[in-house]
Every structure is written in structure tokens, then in C-alpha cells.
Amino acid sequence: MSYSFRTTCVTGNPQYKPRDNTGCITVPIYQSATFAHPSLGVSTGFDYSRLENPTREYAEQVVASLDHAKYGFAFSSGMAAVTALFDAFDAGTTVISSDDLYGGSIRLFNTIEKSRNITLTYTDTSNLANVKKSFETAEKNGERVTAVYIETPSNPTMLITDIKKTAELAHEHHALLVVDNTFLTPYFQQPLSLGADIVVQSGTKFLCGHNDTLAGFLTTNNDELAERISFVVKTTGSGLAPFDSYLAVRGIKTLAVRMEAQQKTAQEIISWLSICPGVTKVLYPGIKDNSGYEINKSQATGFGSMMSFYVDTPERAEKILRSVKLIRFAESLGGVESLITYPLTQTHADVPEEDRKRKGITNTLLRLSVGLEDAQDLIADLAQAMNGSE
């Protein structure tokens, strides 16, 4: 049996048989570190919660089925998921990556992964020719490229990378394609169906959706990779805790309705920002003259509720951050509460200055994650903040 996306959000994976036979409607929180064996050499399927836990397994099954994946893994955060994936890659190899990424991923790649002798080659993957060139250079240098790692839309400048074409190119070179799908979620974009090999998501954002828990997910159809990831989880213990797994399952029940409502509100805000004096440019993949509009439209069913915008002066950017009342000045995104972020000093503070400049992460760039509040209230808040009635 298979259900529509929206129904699967509510029911979980229809193929998955719950471990509990009480008839409970929500997944129980199996707050148990260990599980007794019925007899010598017999297991219930659960031995120790670092390896597997029924609440975590339920969460993994939901996300895997939303991504149309054979395997799903839940981690204690998005970064724990990315780390586990890289732990599954051989040391001494090369990964070609988008150069406009979540700041925490860049920090991980440039420090811990570098010390594991994984070479990161950054390029603007929104232009396929750059990825081609990176492969040629790596191969000329005798490097083995394990994977191409992309975010689309990217963070924070909302560049779009063609998933299908990048997957084809990666596969020609015997490399995997990894897509960080945090911004659009499987509700709007299905990277595995477009040819990607692994999907990374920060569940902290839209999946959990309530700014109340950290979580991360990996999904894949690749048997060998799944086995490696499973070994990493078992060995390093970065799996998602039972209570947080429960919150993830609960958050996902409303994913479809939240994604729709938040996108609608985001579009109302964009219409207002586009004609607002003091705003010089809005970055959003749903704006027709944004460079990635056509590609995003061809590979996703929506544009999401994340946007970035430039204002005319750094003073105005600071004024907005000091004056917003309903919208909170905080890192993170994707929750029911709208949040405004200053990438320069927050999410991208650890990105080298020259890279920030090149990518347009300046002191006049703000990023807005639109939540579930009323559009008119959010616009009124931005209007008063723009004019700085502190």
C-alpha cells in the first residue's frame, strides 16, 4: 500500500509494522538504553539504543518513506548526519562541493574533514561547467573524487543547482551526488528521484518544524553506503535520542500543511519587500528573474519559505535586527516562528572573509525564514523595523 505524501506525513511509513500492539495512535517514547534478550542468542531486534531504538526507527522509517528511500538514518543534529556521512567516505579522497553552503558544513569540511585528509574542492555548482572543471582538475592531480555535495537552494544566496545533470556528471566519474535538502524538504523536492544518491537534511528546521529540537537525517537507496552509515552510527553513537525522535515524528505530521502555508506567506512578504524603499534586492528562487528560477521549477514543486534580501546600508540592516518584535533575531530556520538572521555574523561567521565577499554575504544581507504567523502581522513588523521605531 502506498499513500500520498500528505497522508504519509500523518501515518508514517504504511509498510512499517509498529513494535507496539496497544493500539496507541502516536509512537511511544521508548526511553530505554538497553533491551533484554528473550534467550541466549535471541534478540527482539533491539539490543542497545546506541545501535537501534524503536522510536528512532519509527522516525527513520517516516523520513525514508517521504524521500522514497530504502534506508533512513536519524541523527542528533544535521551536522551529526553530515559528519556520519563523511565518516562513511574513505579518508584521502576528494569531495567537490557547492561554495555557497550552510556555514556549519563549511566549518566541518575545513577543519575536521581536512584533518582526515578529505580534500574539499569548492565551486559554484549552479554552473555545471564548474563541476566538470573540478572533476578534470582533480583527476589530473590523481585525486579520487568520492562525491559531489550540493545545497539547492543554497544558503544564504539561494542559488539553484541542477540535480539531475549534476547526478549524471557525478555518475560518469563514478562519484556520488549528495544533496542537502533542508530548505525545500521532500515535500517540494525529491533529490533521490532526480538521481541523487544521498539526501542530507537538518531535521531541526522544517521537518521538526517547531524550533524545539535538533535532528538530522540521511536517506539513500545505496546498499553499500547504508551499511557503512549503519556501522558509523553503531560505532560513534550519534543517533537521535528517543524523545527527540518522537518530536520529529510529531513535527512531520504537519509538514505538508506547514510548507504550503509558510510558502504562501513568504510570497506575500516578497511582494511587499520587492517594492519596499530601502530594500535593494530580494533573493528567492520563485522570483522569475532570479537566475535559478527555471531549473528550480523543473526539479521542485515549490520555492519554499526561505529568502534573503539586501538593504541599502549596513545601518539599516542593523536597525532592522534591533527593531523587529514579532520576527525574532535568531539563527535557524524552518520553524513555525519567523526568524531573521544576519549571515555575516551568525551562520557564516566562520566562512573566510574573501569567500564571503565573493558570494555576496555582506553587511547588508539579511536572511528571513517565514513561519506560520499572519502575513499582515509580519509585514507590519518589517515595516516598523525598516523605519526603525526602536
Catalytic positions: 50, 102, 180, 205
Of positions 83, 155, 166, 190, contacts ligand PLP by CB under 6 A: 155
Q: How far apart are CA 63 and CA 198, in angstroms?
A: 13
3-state secondary structure of 150: strand
**Torsion from C-alpha of 209, 212, 216, 221, nearest 10 degrees:** -40
Nearer to ligand PLP, 78 or 385 (CB): 78
Q: Which strand (E) or helix (H) includes residue 9? A: helix 5-11
The smaller minimum CB distance to ligand PLP, of residues 71 and 206, is found at 206
Q: Does 77 bind ligand PLP (CB under 6 A)?
A: yes
- Residue number, 307 or 385, with CB nearest to ligand PLP: 307
Nearer to ligand PLP, 214 or 270 (CB): 214
Q: Name the residue nearer to ligand PLP (CB basis): 59 or 386.
A: 59
> What's the gap between Cα 115 and its chain centre?
24
* Nine-digit cell string for 247: 518530536
Distance CA 340, CA 344 (A): 12
Single out the residue of 264, 265, 303, 298 nearest to residue 287, CA to CA.
303
What's the closest the beta carbon of residue 231 comes to ligand PLP, in angstroms?
21
Is-contact 268 375, C-beta < 8 A?
A: yes
Considering beta carbons, is residue 61 or 105 the nearer one to ligand PLP?
105
> Which one of 9, 59, 79, 378 is in contact with ligand PLP (CB under 6 A)?
79
Q: How far apart are CA 110 and CA 9, in angstroms?
A: 36
What does R_g of the chain's alpha carbons equal in angstroms? 21
Shortest spacing between CB 23 and ligand PLP, in angstroms: 33
Q: Write down the least CB distance from residue 358 to ligand PLP, Å.
A: 19
- CB 89, min distance to ligand PLP, A: 17
The interface region with ligand PLP, picked from 31-39, 73-81, 92-100, 187-195 by CB under 6 A, is 73-81
Give min distance, CB of 213 to ligand PLP, in A. 9
DSSP secondary structure letters along 274-312: HT-TTEEEEE-TTSTTSTTHHHHHHHBS---SEEEEEES
Between residues 204 and 305, which has the closer beta carbon with respect to ligand PLP?
A: 204
Cis peptide before 352 (omega within 30 of 0): no
The candidate with the shortest Cα–Cα distance to 248, out of 51, 5, 19, 29, is 29
**204 interacts with ligand PLP by CB under 6 A:** yes
Interface stretch with ligand PLP, choices 71-79, 131-139, 294-302, 317-325 (CB under 6 A)? 71-79
Residues 6+ apart with CB under 8 A from 205: 78, 182, 183, 332, 333, 334, 335
Q: Does 209 bind ligand PLP (CB under 6 A)?
A: no
> Rule CB under 6 A: which of 81-110 touch ligand PLP?
102, 104-105
Residue 153 touching ligand PLP (CB under 6 A)? no
Query: Which cell numbers hold the place of 184?
Result: 525545500
Minimum distance between the CB of residue 157 and ligand PLP, rounded to whole angstroms?
A: 12
Q: Which amino acid is at 294?
A: E
**Among the residue ranges 72-80, 141-149, 254-262, 381-389, the one whose residues contact ligand PLP (CB under 6 A):** 72-80
CB-based closest residue to ligand PLP: 78
Spatial distance between the Cα atoms of 286 and 290, rounded to a whole number of angstroms: 8
Q: How many residues bind ligand PLP (CB under 6 A)?
A: 15
Provide the binding-site residues for ligand PLP, judged by CB under 6 A. 77-79, 102, 104-105, 151, 155, 180, 182, 202, 204-205, 214, 216
